[in-house]
Structure 1
Amino acid sequence: MPRIIKRPLAETDLIDIWLFITEDSVINADAYLRRIEQLFRVLADQPLMGQNRTEIADSIKSFPIESHVIFYYALDDGIDIVRVLHGARDIEAVFYNKRISHFKDKLSGDGLR
Structure 2
Amino acid sequence: MEVATAFVADIHAKIEWIAKVDFTGSPRDHISEGLRAFPYRKRCIYYRSYPDRIVIVRVLHGARDVTLQEFDDPSRAS
| TM bracket (short chain) | 0.7 to 0.9
* Structure that is richer in helix per residue: 1
Counterpart in 1 of 2:31?
Answer: 56
Mapped to 2, the partners of 1:56 and 1:98 lie a distance apart of 8
Mapped to 2, the partners of 1:60 and 1:35 lie a distance apart of 22
Counterpart in 2 of 1:83?
Answer: 58
Offset at residue 97 of structure 1 (A): 5.7
Q: Which moved more, 1:29-38 or 1:44-53?
A: 44-53
Q: Relative to structure 1, is the Cα distance of residues 97 and 62 closer, same or farther in structure 2, using a 3 angstrom cutoff?
A: closer
Match for residue 71 of structure 1 among 38, 46, 59:
46
Offset at residue 78 of structure 1 (A): 2.3
SS at match of 2:29: coil
Runs of 5+ in structure 2 lacking a partner? none
* Counterpart code for 1:42: W
CA contact (8 A) 1:47 1:75 kept: no
Runs of 5+ in structure 1 lacking a partner? 1-25, 103-113
Q: Which has the higher contact order (CA 8 A, sep 6+)?
A: 1
* Counterpart code for 1:90: D
Alignment RMSD (CA, Å): 1.7
* Counterpart code for 2:37: S
Mapped to 1, the partners of 2:64 and 2:24 lie a distance apart of 22
* Structure that is richer in strand per residue: 2
The sequence identity of aligned pairs, in percent, is 32
Mapped to 2, the partners of 1:52 and 1:73 lie a distance apart of 10
* Counterpart code for 1:32: F
- TM-score, normalization: structure 1? 0.58
Offset at residue 98 of structure 1 (A): 5.6
Counterpart in 2 of 1:96?
Answer: 69
